[in-house]
Structure 1
Amino acid sequence: MSGPSKPLLTVLKRGNPGKKPIWLMRQAGRYLPEYRALRAEKGGFLDMAYDPDAAAEITLQPIRRFGFDGAILFSDILVVPHALGQDLTFVAGEGPRLAPPLMDAALGALRPVPERLAPIYKTVEKVAAALPPETTFLGFAGSPWTVATYMVAGQGSREQAEARRYAYRDPAAFQHLIDAISGMTVDYLSGQIDAGVEAVQLFDSWAGSLSPQQFEQWVIAPTARIVAALKARHPDTPIIGFPKGAGGKIAAYARETGVDAIGLDETVDPHWAHRELPAGLPVQGNLDPLALIAGGEMLETAARRIISVFEDRPHVFNLGHGILPDTPIDHVNALLGIVRA
């Protein structure tokens, strides 16, 4: 169901809903007391992500509290390497770990376990049945480059040096890894759509670490293949691309990948984006998460500037990256008042 009753979906399809839709990346999470209470009861992050009842509840919490125009599935981008056969754990205070890291092992040694994704499809079904009719349900996955950086190193890394070295040292093997991630990602996102999501977002959190030539090879090319494959299966489902940190390379990404909307991080000048991106292409973002923490006049000035710049372009209001755990809830309410004024 689209049309005026789903403002976010309307904007992603280049329509005019008559209001500015808003949702926030990581809107389900640690800044909410109801999330912290559930986590204390249920245990670790991964336990909740694979528990359909818990994951559905977490997905719905910010919708109940704030009435956002979009609900983003509660999960993690590393469920795809888990489905490709790596072991996945979350270490308290240190983050995710994948084993064996592919800088020490071959992809061919892994046995894919796609059934590991089944609980997530069940979560989607539960959320889709419970969402208000005006709320758009967003699914997501990590883009192949970003997922590959974790698979190669076995964990997150600031400069993604292990994956970049791998790609230079053995581009054929790295291409094989990218292709495997891409294939699983198409099936995973297609499964989310079949289960009830109405749009999907590809997170390329580490796109900014690549040279222009590598960006073409490891970000644009695989993203374009994923978009084409998803469009063949689900031609009416919008796809948002979010190449964080890509800077001036975003324009090529927008032209060449076929995504329906572009997410802009907080470092992108909205005037530049409005000028350089294809006319009529919806954009999403790009408020600095720290401006939301600051609140007050700083928040209002920053938010109104973004709204003004994109007045003549389809625009989904969002942050430039995920909401931070120490964000005051009152500031989120204040932002909603600004956007919906």
Structure 2
Amino acid sequence: MDAPSEPSDTRQADRPLLAVLRGERRDPTPVWLMRQAGRYLPEYRALRAEKGGFLDLVHDSEAAADVTLQPIRRFGFDGAILFSDILVIPHALGQDLRFMAGEGPRLSPPLVDYALDGLEAAPERLDPVYETVRLVARDLPPETTFLGFAGSPWTVATYMVAGQGSRDQAETRRMAYRDPKAFGAIIDAIAASTVDYLGKQIEAGVDAVQLFDSWSGSLSPAQFEHWVIAPNAKIVAELRDRYPDTPIIGFPKGAGEKLPAYARETMVDALGIDETIDPEWAADALPEALPVQGNLDPLALIAGGERLDHATDRIKRAFAGRPHVFNLGHGILPDTPIAHVEHLLACVRQG
């Protein structure tokens, strides 16, 4: 079977963020913020109140496209990140997905006590996401890079096994040790679905994709190699074979000293680093010329003032010698002042 054809690109203007992800250095540094389309924006809160539940908003393609574009209209970020959720993959694999007010997501049945092959896959549940991508790609400014995303297999599996988020992912870690064959089947199913999901995002119009591994920091080095590096390397290899011109960002939050191995072995095009990483250490330890993304502490953005300026300057200096995308070390928090975001953008764009 022939590989899917690449989508035609009607946005021909220079896109600084995309250039950096492909290995160029740009001054000023391009910038976007994880979770930039979300609860810190009054326009998001108004639309969310109108549309109801979070999953309803994700499945309303026109509304989800509007949410994706809101921070671009307000701030002119260099990248727009698709508005969706990492748990649409388990939903497509057959688990029921609900978002409980004040409690977070719930998946049922939890796979800690239910066989994966008992689920009935429903890939059509992803169709609204692809329509969102098409709508955003149509309306996005030509200079703005459009980022798709998915959760990495380990992080998605922690929710599928436990049925919800947890502080230490204990149930999933126990299952990985107790029954690596059954757990490996879950990881493989997520990886295969993720390749198809990201591929369809690319075909619908995204310029680059990011793999979020929010819980990778809970694993021992050997388990990290097995359940984070190996499946992500497989996803990257398959996507690159099908879409060789689409950059892939890996973001293994909490990986710490395992970051260099992750970068080398997954072969991601760019590496997101969280706020716990010393940027000077990262600049020295990571593969030379690898584009990096990050890594401002979201709380420094809330604090503002001199502390924000100092942290911003330190990150810019540390990564001045390599391709760099300025970003947070994790998602922007709901109580972040709009004025602080505006100030950060001004500081980054001073060059």
Task: Classify the TM-score, shorter chain.
Answer: over 0.9
Contact 1:150 1:156 in 2 (8 A): yes
Q: What residue is the counterpart of 1:207 in the other structure?
A: 216
Q: What residue is the counterpart of 2:104 in the other structure?
A: 95
Q: What residue is the counterpart of 2:76 in the other structure?
A: 67
SS of equivalent to 1:89:
strand
Contact 2:25 2:322 in 1 (8 A): no
2: CA distance between counterparts of 1:157 and 1:94?
A: 11
Which of 146, 170, 175 is residue 166 of structure 1 equivalent to?
Answer: 175
Which of 287, 294, 300 is residue 296 of structure 2 equivalent to?
Answer: 287
Which of 138, 159, 164 is residue 147 of structure 2 equivalent to?
Answer: 138
Q: For residue 19 of structure 1, report the CA deviation from its aligned partner.
A: 2.3
Matched letter for residue 29 of structure 1:
G
1: CA distance between counterparts of 2:166 and 2:258?
A: 22
Matched letter for residue 38 of structure 2:
G
Q: What residue is the counterpart of 2:5 in the other structure?
A: none
Q: Given the alignment of the two structures, is residue 316 of structure 1 paired with residue 325 of structure 2, yes or no?
A: yes
Q: Given the alignment of the two structures, is residue 330 of structure 1 paired with residue 339 of structure 2, yes or no?
A: yes
Q: Following superposition, which runs of at least 4 residues in structure 1 exceed 6 angstroms of deviation? A: none
2: CA distance between counterparts of 1:175 and 1:163?
A: 11
Q: For residue 3 of structure 1, report the CA deviation from its aligned partner.
A: 8.5
Q: For residue 256 of structure 1, report the CA deviation from its aligned partner.
A: 0.2
Matched letter for residue 143 of structure 1:
S
For residues 241-256 of structure 1, what are the structure 2 equivalents within 5 Å?
241-256=250-265
Matched letter for residue 173 of structure 2:
R
Q: What residue is the counterpart of 1:116 in the other structure?
A: 125
Contact 2:291 2:324 in 1 (8 A): yes
Contact 1:3 1:17 in 2 (8 A): no
Matched letter for residue 261 of structure 1:
A
SS of equivalent to 2:64:
helix
2: CA distance between counterparts of 1:234 and 1:17?
A: 24
Q: What residue is the counterpart of 1:43 in the other structure?
A: 52
Question: What runs of 5+ residues in structure 2 fail to find an aligned partner?
Answer: 1-8
Q: For residue 276 of structure 1, report the CA deviation from its aligned partner.
A: 0.7
Matched letter for residue 327 of structure 1:
T
1: CA distance between counterparts of 2:13 and 2:101?
A: 43
Which of 203, 207, 210 is residue 198 of structure 1 equivalent to?
Answer: 207
Q: Given the alignment of the two structures, is residue 30 of structure 1 paired with residue 39 of structure 2, yes or no?
A: yes
Count how many residue pairs are aligned between Structure 1 and Structure 2.
341
Contact 1:3 1:10 in 2 (8 A): no
Q: What residue is the counterpart of 1:266 in the other structure?
A: 275
SS of equivalent to 2:327:
coil
2: CA distance between counterparts of 1:71 and 1:150?
A: 26
Q: If the length of structure 2 is used for normalisation, what is the TM-score?
A: 0.96
1: CA distance between counterparts of 2:123 and 2:18?
A: 29
Q: For residue 18 of structure 1, report the CA deviation from its aligned partner.
A: 3.6
Q: For residue 5 of structure 1, report the CA deviation from its aligned partner.
A: 1.4
Which of 213, 226, 232 is residue 241 of structure 2 equivalent to?
Answer: 232
SS of equivalent to 2:250:
strand
Q: Given the alignment of the two structures, is residue 304 of structure 1 paired with residue 295 of structure 2, yes or no?
A: no
Deviation string for 1:209-240 (max 9, x for gaps)?
A: 00000000000000000000000110000000
SS of equivalent to 1:286:
strand
Contact 2:12 2:142 in 1 (8 A): no
Q: What residue is the counterpart of 1:278 in the other structure?
A: 287
Contact 1:3 1:9 in 2 (8 A): no
1: CA distance between counterparts of 2:55 and 2:259?
A: 32
SS of equivalent to 1:140:
strand
Q: What residue is the counterpart of 1:20 in the other structure?
A: 29
Contact 1:100 1:154 in 2 (8 A): yes
Contact 2:86 2:150 in 1 (8 A): yes
Q: For residue 16 of structure 1, report the CA deviation from its aligned partner.
A: 3.0
Matched letter for residue 125 of structure 1:
R
Deviation string for 1:97-147 (max 9, x for gaps)?
A: 000000120101001111110000000000000000000000000000000
2: CA distance between counterparts of 1:251 and 1:15?
A: 20
Q: What fraction of aligned residue pairs are identical, expressed as a percent?
A: 73
Q: For residue 15 of structure 1, report the CA deviation from its aligned partner.
A: 1.4
SS of equivalent to 1:317:
strand
Q: What residue is the counterpart of 1:220 in the other structure?
A: 229
Question: What runs of 5+ residues in structure 1 fail to find an aligned partner?
Answer: none
C-alpha RMSD of the superposition: 1.0
Which of 85, 92, 114 is residue 83 of structure 1 equivalent to?
Answer: 92
